Structure 1
Amino acid sequence: MPPADRRRSQSQHSPSRPDLELRAAARHFGRRRFLSLTAAAAALAFTTNLPAPGAASARELDAARITDNPFTLGVASGDPLPTSVLLWTRIAPAPFEPDGGLAQQLVAVQWEVASDDKFSLVVRSGVATAFPEYHHTVHVDVDGLEPDRVYYYRFKTGTWISETGRTRTAPATTAAVAALRFAAVSCQAYHDGFFTAHRHLAKDDVDVVFHLGDYLYEYAVNSAGGARNYTDRKLPDLFNRETMTLEDYRLRYALYKSDPDLRAVHAAHPFVVTWDDHETENNYAGAVDEKGDPAEQFLVRRAAAYRAYWENQPLRSAQLPSGPDAQLYRRLQWGTLAQFDVLDTRQYRSDQAYGDVQHVPGPESDDPARTITGAAQEKWLIDGWRASAALWNVMPQQVCFSQRKLDLNAAAKVSMDAWDGYRASRDRVLAGAKSAAVGNLMVLTGDVHVGYAFDIKDVFDDPASKTLGTEIVATSIASGKDGAEKPGNWDTYTKANPHLKFYNGRRGYVRVELGRQSARADFKTVSAVTTADAPITTAASFVTEAGNPGLKPA
């Protein structure tokens, strides 16, 4: 949550030489041109010396000379399409060193996709290059696969073979699929506890996992791992600082991906990822950071964060950033059963109103010119709904979409960081859903470190108004530490928001099964994350019927 002095304090970090040069240039050319200048400078900083197609940018390492396991950060897959899936790994025999132990050398990496986990029937294979410019990460877009099939994959380099990953393709876009099982997760602060929920999810029978943001946190992690309180190991001091540079972000991904539970869940299921704020910086909005630093300075940091995010996620080249810009919003289909419109509510949003403190809605927050998605993404979303032939239209995104009053006053305060702080933007999206005749709208949300189940109302202040869809909010994996089944504001929130059907403050994930007649959401929670190995239980289950939106206990 935002500090009280948001955008009022000055950064304690000394500006780097590129920052000083950008500031000087901004003063020289004037404020009208500084944003375009900054974007160009950041793009130059993070696209210079990238490998050209077919070109060798560095000397190739003889992989036989790699004496330590290079697959320390596991494998992953993502964004399944009917005939392709994206495979990921990173070659890093020394993951906590800035260069991963490989310096500026190319590494040839073999990959295989098979129809069985013994690899007796390999259906696709090839060789990819791990470039130092991409921090020796590998992204392989495997095509020519069969729709709606489970596959197994692995990587090889030298004498080393990675662990085996399990993935799958989506059904053909015209297939009348009967069911889809997916999970929604969010907010995994390493320093707040163990990723136990991921270990349980790795064993769950789901087709795909949606990660809704805050994959990592920019905050310092001390040698004991924060709340993990390691006694048998000590983390390097290089993690005990806030992430600011490309090297900082890359190293923080190495820390997170070294977690065995996160590795297990990535190996078990394909992921569809989108970011929220902490992958860059808490509660940033577009080119505006939390501390009120000059935009030209923050955009350089944002470029570093976006670059490291793409490098470390199973994302296609279409999501590769150009400087501080990246198109992360995208659309996936699961036959005629479901369309997924994955949003980015950080990169294009207007700055939060009223200093980003809890506030009663007013002229500043309700200005119709304000947006949480940006105009282009908003149009893309609504146009996609109009063209959709899917039974369920699911919108994975970051922050609370439904109205969430925070007190019992007649004029209640709401969060300025959520869609409540951008009500005109929400109204336009809901008007678009109605004009597109979206009958089964489901919004997936993260961010708030609790589990919620909302009915999305036509008029939120009128409980009798039409229900337009449902919102399923996934609690955190670890952020917020252990939490509580009933947080201290449970009575207030449930009384102030009659469309709120469920509220639980434990850690975990949501498992959703979509069918032709209904959808079921199971809220899975663990009792603790500050100690390892907690069991998982189902805190509550809800059903919403196709053609009859509204959540009912299962």
Structure 2
Amino acid sequence: MRRSLTRRRLLHASGLATATAASLVASSASAADPTSTSSLGLVEPPAGTLPFVHGVASGDPLPDSVILWTRITPTEEALPGSGVGPSVTVEWEVAADGEMRDVVKRGTVVASASRDHTVHVDPHGLQPDTVYFYRFLVDGVSSPIGRTKTAPAATASPEQLTFGVASCANWESGFFSAYADIARRAHSGQLDYMVFLGDYIYEYATGEYSGFGPVRLHHPAHEITTLADYRTRYGRYRTDPDLQAAHAALPWIVVWDDHETANDNWAGGAENHDPATEGSWRERQTAAMRAYFEWMPVRATAPSEAGHLYRSLTFGDLAELTMMDLRTYRDQQAPWNPVAFMEEGRSMLGSEQYDWLLGKIETSQATWNLLGNSVMFAPLNLVSLQENSLTAQVAAALTKNITGIPVNGDQWDGYSAERRALIDALRASPAHALFLTGDIHTEWAHTISKGEEVVAAEMVCGSVSAPNINEALNLRAGNTVSRLAEQVLRQANPQCHHVELDSHGYCFVTLSREEAQMHWLRVDDVLRPGSPVRQAHALTYRPGAGVVS
């Protein structure tokens, strides 16, 4: 029988004191924009209903299959990260209709505490380019019904496809209205597939990184470092109704960035991981990876288990989507120094992934190479040295490859030699290339060129809710400082066709044979649940010509 997870039980599990919550609200209200946050109170997530507290999801679509996901909560004690609870036999069904009358596939799977009671089903034998509906059942109780879609057949020639693109969802700093809009557009047929580019969760302690919030509190309240911690944080996120709706509306294709583990992580550590107080980096990384693969609808296998997250999916002959893992294998970020950033041999991808990626680029038969890219690919310069005859001499003295002063060595700027090699590979490929990028919490559009030749374009989505420039400066959105900074950035970066520093939301791209139509959507007020989401900007990339309005 379906049972509610009691509010008392949820609060007890959270371990959050009323006094702590009150102090956090007071401190956030005093620091934030008074027109937006002075009346905010903390919002608790819905309690949910057993056994399907965390919704359903699908991902990694193939022409004949798609991963189906859910999490079972068999008892009130078997909360995410608890490690307790009985094993449960779960039935699953895939149907051609939303009422689940025309069932085309069914089977059973076991949910156990060893995998935090998460389940993944890969129901091969489906038809390509087809919308299906699915659900899970435990003792006759049904999960919410999810909607998904298989990829076009390898031999198909779709004329058009639309991919949603999102990243950077911080639980404490705002509500997930962007996800609600994604669900609406998917159900109306405006979005085919969803690409998520990392920072699905944030690892910080409560109140440490919440912008104008917190509007709701992390669980657990401390910085997460253990397997139980990461599982619990994912469970907290997946109680959000808008996130559940977006997962249930269309298949997601995901990759991690840094906050699924720890800020600015690299192969051997992270900026905010201290082995003296937080233990082994390898143990923390392994725990984070395991929780990620348990809670996300992915077909890949964890690198900690001799697998990898980087992978490629094809959508007929129109698009090949290559998801790159830019954290697991990268060299440590260099101290800020443009010359150090340019050193040969510094790798973002690692040798094995780099060779695999070049093979994909060289052999792709698709019209478009889409590159799922968790950090900005285009150069981001504070000063464009080559625009002035005097400073151009400085650039030549440093190295012929430096065209400016890069801001952030955690982005591709810090691995510039490998970026140049990748640009050369894309230049040699007949396919059109488009980078789909997250991480930076702000909106951008770039042309990627070699000399005068346009090689690719880059579309960067704003954050779902993670803090951006106005929140960092404690100013209203659209303030004079942000607008001036946007002008300076465009002047210093001639390849930049769009930048907006203050808004939250997501974007989508519609591909045809000739062009990519890019759209940026913004949440009116990320601090208000149910806020409207509106299209704010649109550009078109035409290969060979560049980005045009």
> How high is the TM-score relative to the length of structure 2?
0.81
The answer as to 2:196 corresponding to 1:211 is yes
Give the Cα–Cα distance (whole angstroms) in 2 for the partners of residues 221 and 209 of structure 1.
29
Selected match of 2:409 from 406, 412, 416: 416
The answer as to 2:453 corresponding to 1:457 is no
Give the Cα–Cα distance (whole angstroms) in 2 for the partners of residues 444 and 95 of structure 1.
40
> How high is the TM-score relative to the length of structure 1?
0.80
- Structure 1 residue 340, shift from structure 2 partner: 0.6
The answer as to 2:325 corresponding to 1:344 is yes
Selected match of 1:467 from 429, 454, 463: 454
The answer as to 2:352 corresponding to 1:376 is yes
Question: What one-letter code is carried by the residue in structure 1 that aligns with 2:460?
Answer: V
1:315 aligned partner: 298
2:151 aligned partner: 170
2:397 aligned partner: none
Selected match of 1:534 from 525, 531, 536: 531
Question: What one-letter code is carried by the residue in structure 2 that aligns with 1:202?
Answer: A
Selected match of 1:201 from 151, 157, 182: 182
Structure 2 unmatched ranges of 5 or more: 1-47, 386-390, 392-403, 472-476
Q: 3-state SS of the aligned residue for 1:218?
A: coil
- Structure 1 residue 533, shift from structure 2 partner: 2.3
- Structure 1 residue 206, shift from structure 2 partner: 0.5
Give the Cα–Cα distance (whole angstroms) in 2 for the partners of residues 154 and 97 of structure 1.
21
Q: Which whole-Å deviations, capped at 9, do the CAs of 1:351-399 have from their partners, x for residues lacking one?
A: 0001xxxx3411x222211100011111111111111110011001100
In structure 2, the CA distance between the partners of 1:186 and 1:193, relative to structure 1 (3 Å rule), is same
Question: What one-letter code is carried by the residue in structure 1 that aligns with 2:304?
Answer: S
- Aligned pairs for 1:512-531 within 5 A: 512-531=509-528
Q: Is the 8 A contact 1:542 1:552 kept in 2?
A: yes
In structure 2, the CA distance between the partners of 1:112 and 1:282, relative to structure 1 (3 Å rule), is same
Q: Is the 8 A contact 2:366 2:431 kept in 1?
A: no
Question: What one-letter code is carried by the residue in structure 2 that aligns with 1:544?
Answer: Y
- Structure 1 residue 344, shift from structure 2 partner: 0.3
Give the Cα–Cα distance (whole angstroms) in 1 for the partners of residues 539 and 211 of structure 2.
35
Q: Is the 8 A contact 2:74 2:86 kept in 1?
A: no
1:543 aligned partner: 540
Give the Cα–Cα distance (whole angstroms) in 1 for the partners of residues 77 and 408 of structure 2.
37
- Aligned pairs for 1:381-420 within 5 A: 381-407=357-383, 410=391, 411-420=404-413
- Structure 1 residue 407, shift from structure 2 partner: 4.2
- Structure 1 residue 548, shift from structure 2 partner: 2.5
Selected match of 2:435 from 423, 432, 443: 443
The answer as to 2:127 corresponding to 1:146 is yes
The answer as to 2:504 corresponding to 1:503 is no
- Aligned pairs for 1:110-129 within 5 A: 110-129=91-110
Question: What one-letter code is carried by the residue in structure 2 that aligns with 1:493?
Answer: L
Q: Is the 8 A contact 1:113 1:152 kept in 2?
A: yes
Q: Is the 8 A contact 2:384 2:492 kept in 1?
A: yes
In structure 2, the CA distance between the partners of 1:94 and 1:210, relative to structure 1 (3 Å rule), is farther
The answer as to 2:157 corresponding to 1:180 is no
2:288 aligned partner: 305
Q: Is the 8 A contact 2:64 2:124 kept in 1?
A: yes
In structure 2, the CA distance between the partners of 1:346 and 1:438, relative to structure 1 (3 Å rule), is farther
- Structure 1 residue 223, shift from structure 2 partner: 13
Q: Is the 8 A contact 1:332 1:339 kept in 2?
A: yes
Give the Cα–Cα distance (whole angstroms) in 2 for the partners of residues 532 and 228 of structure 1.
13
- Structure 1 residue 439, shift from structure 2 partner: 3.8
Give the Cα–Cα distance (whole angstroms) in 2 for the partners of residues 142 and 76 of structure 1.
14
Q: 3-state SS of the aligned residue for 2:156?
A: coil
Query: Which deviates the most, 502-511 or 300-309?
Result: 502-511
> What is the aligned residue count?
469
Question: What one-letter code is carried by the residue in structure 1 that aligns with 2:433?
Answer: L
In structure 2, the CA distance between the partners of 1:438 and 1:191, relative to structure 1 (3 Å rule), is farther
In structure 2, the CA distance between the partners of 1:104 and 1:120, relative to structure 1 (3 Å rule), is closer
In structure 2, the CA distance between the partners of 1:433 and 1:225, relative to structure 1 (3 Å rule), is closer
Q: Which whole-Å deviations, capped at 9, do the CAs of 1:67-97 have from their partners, x for residues lacking one?
A: 9521111000000000010000000256896
Q: Which whole-Å deviations, capped at 9, do the CAs of 1:163-209 have from their partners, x for residues lacking one?
A: 01000100111111111011000000101100011111111121100
Selected match of 1:251 from 204, 228, 232: 232
In structure 2, the CA distance between the partners of 1:197 and 1:344, relative to structure 1 (3 Å rule), is same
Q: Is the 8 A contact 1:139 1:314 kept in 2?
A: yes
Give the Cα–Cα distance (whole angstroms) in 2 for the partners of residues 118 and 227 of structure 1.
42
Question: What one-letter code is carried by the residue in structure 1 that aligns with 2:444?
Answer: Y
Give the Cα–Cα distance (whole angstroms) in 2 for the partners of residues 68 and 270 of structure 1.
24
CA RMSD of aligned residues (A): 2.4
Q: Is the 8 A contact 2:211 2:466 kept in 1?
A: no
- Structure 1 residue 428, shift from structure 2 partner: 1.2
In structure 2, the CA distance between the partners of 1:350 and 1:172, relative to structure 1 (3 Å rule), is same
In structure 2, the CA distance between the partners of 1:183 and 1:517, relative to structure 1 (3 Å rule), is same
In structure 2, the CA distance between the partners of 1:429 and 1:99, relative to structure 1 (3 Å rule), is closer
